[in-house]
Amino acid sequence: MIYYNPQLMPDDAAITLFIVSNPESFERYEDHEAALHFHLNELIKQAIAEGEMPIALIEDYLEVSYNDGNMVNEISDFLMHTDTMQSALGMLKESWHQKQGDTVEEGLFFGQGISEEEITQKYAQITLRSYLETLSAFGK
């Protein structure tokens, strides 16, 4: 199931950064954050399979130097702890604190004129490159 919530993801940038696939809805920010970390692992694996160089992409888009390991989880851990990602996660955490209503009952594929098909398509189109491009523009 694709987790989409219009209160937490009010625009295309937030959708790209925070939409995830998860077997059930989230009840708190920490669960969402863990799913995002897993999602980044998957995007990195996909990039590697397609011949991309995730470390170079991260360095280029986020203008940071990477000197950790080459394992997928090491790369995603690094990405999760960049200043830009921490800023984005801070915004998500604040949105969770301000969120109204029951996560289970609201916004799992719908809301604000976005259909299930559109959300599914947006999710399927996210790549590490598009994720990093969106993240690099965050807060500018």
Per-residue pLDDT of 72-115, as tens digits, reads 999 999 999 999 999 999 999 999 998 866 544 444 444 456 78
Q: Is the dihedral of CA 91, 112, 124, 4 positive or negative?
A: positive
The answer to whether the Cα torsion of 29, 96, 20, 12 is positive or negative is negative
The rounded Cα 115 to chain-centroid distance in angstroms is 19
Q: What is the mean pLDDT of residues 27-47?
A: 96
Look at residue 106 in the predicted model and tell me its pLDDT. 46
Predicted confidence band of residue 17 (pLDDT cuts 50, 70, 90): very high
Determine the pLDDT at residue 1: 87
Of 3-17, 36-50, 78-92, the least confident: 3-17
Q: What is the mean pLDDT of the chain?
A: 89
Q: Taking the model in full, what pTM does it have? A: 0.89
Helix H, strand E, coil C: the string for 48-86 is HHCCCCHHHHHHHHHCCCCCCCCCHHHHHHHHHCCHHHH
Question: Residues with Cβ < 8 Å from 64, sequence gap 6 or more?
Answer: 58, 82
Q: What is the dihedral of CA 46, 88, 138, 5, to 10 degrees?
A: 80
pLDDT of residue 102: 52
The mean pLDDT value for 60-66 works out to 96
Tokens matching residue 62? 């986020």
CA of 8: how far to CAs of 28, 56, 73, 108, 129, in Å?
A: 12, 30, 26, 11, 22
DSSP state of 23: S
